[in-house]
Structure 1
């Protein structure tokens, strides 16, 4: 199995060293950035699988770093585990809304850190294991699970290859696999993350909003990914 790369973005030397030593013992290759600008530079050169990102950083804070990383094209589309010393609910929600996949409140144990990182790395495997059908087609969409390609047919008659992150692709594939089915937050979490999920279930709403911006002609009035008030979400499109 290939060695996984982890970028540690932490300005406190003792904490950064602890994280690096803990993950190195587990077989991960780790690099450290001490501030937000250094993190963005190293992100491009290092191509990490996971980014452990402190919320409070010099130069650029963790929220801004997370936002910029999600806006940059990158083949691996890394998972982001955000660290916060505050622990208030609003900080967790803001972090998830900028594109973080999970959060961890300081102080934390090395054992919990390793568990969170391994859980993130297992997420991308889950959909392929549970969904044997490799092609999904509807009137406006075609998804190839093997090649990880999503195509939308436009009203002009042309086709557009959608620029989706791994999680967005898996979320769309889940919804498209059963048109008309209503998925609750907990069902989507179980499908995409299973027992490995540690965060707030409202992270589903964040990813739904991000996905709508990429697949809907008007995200404020979605045609395909519908909200079912009090229940969850469903996908609608003629086959």
Structure 2
């Protein structure tokens, strides 16, 4: 699949370097040097946005607000040279799916982008398990794994970001099990994630806010458990 990537980075040399690395993967890359220019492209969404936070004119925070207003589940990677912990948490709050602090190796960005794109867009293989249930019941919610959508008891869609959906799916596939924060980090973010387990708590809090009837228990000092219906 030929993915379309929008890269927003105001430093020209870094923008050119990252564009070259992304294009080597066979992806079509459209790069922007400022937030105002990128804003004009929100109506024609790519498969993935890569946003610097500090931008002239419209910053990355404002951009992600406007992107998510149009395409709530479209994946976003934040990059920033500012305070890593603060930007990571704020980015997650606003719907980013990954965060990479500067300086970083361009190849690391490519690896993270590839893993995120594969998780969001690659369809499960057609095998002998084709008759397996595609809709997972969670309390009064229904989770459609293939369509990557969640509906409440009235059939109204619950707007989840890509990372929120992946964490909820991990809980759904391990219902009744006590899952530690480190296990959740590896299972959802992968071994390449560099950060604290606070991101798990923040994502759980966002899911609970959007799905107040979900029976997701906190195991204090350890992690979480999704109660079997």
- In the alignment, the residues of structure 1 paired with residue 123 and residue 216 of structure 2 have an alpha-carbon distance, to the nearest angstrom, of 19
1:38-85 deviation digits (Å, cap 9, x = unpaired):
22321321x2222111111112211222233233335xx332222212
SS at 1:44 equivalent: coil
Pair 165,105 (structure 1): closer, same or farther in 2 beyond 3 Å? closer
The answer to whether structure 1 residue 19 and structure 2 residue 23 are counterparts is no
- In the alignment, the residues of structure 1 paired with residue 19 and residue 138 of structure 2 have an alpha-carbon distance, to the nearest angstrom, of 46
Structure 2: 5+ residue runs without aligned partners? Answer: none
| Residue 58 of structure 1: aligned partner | 56
Shift of 1:123: 3.2
Which of 214, 229, 235 is 2:220 aligned to? 229
| Residue 220 of structure 1: aligned partner | none
- What's the C-alpha RMSD, in Å, of the aligned pairs? 2.8
CA contact (8 A) 2:5 2:48 kept: yes
Shift of 1:29: 0.6
- In the alignment, the residues of structure 2 paired with residue 92 and residue 170 of structure 1 have an alpha-carbon distance, to the nearest angstrom, of 18
Which of 80, 91, 98 is 2:94 aligned to? 98
- In the alignment, the residues of structure 2 paired with residue 196 and residue 126 of structure 1 have an alpha-carbon distance, to the nearest angstrom, of 20
Shift of 1:5: 1.0
| Residue 34 of structure 2: aligned partner | 35
- In the alignment, the residues of structure 1 paired with residue 222 and residue 175 of structure 2 have an alpha-carbon distance, to the nearest angstrom, of 16
CA contact (8 A) 2:9 2:31 kept: yes
Aligned residues: 224
Shift of 1:202: 2.1
| Residue 143 of structure 2: aligned partner | 143
- In the alignment, the residues of structure 2 paired with residue 193 and residue 67 of structure 1 have an alpha-carbon distance, to the nearest angstrom, of 22
Pair 142,90 (structure 1): closer, same or farther in 2 beyond 3 Å? closer
Shift of 1:196: 4.2
- In the alignment, the residues of structure 1 paired with residue 17 and residue 135 of structure 2 have an alpha-carbon distance, to the nearest angstrom, of 44
TM-score, reference length from structure 1? 0.79
Structure 1: 5+ residue runs without aligned partners? Answer: 218-222
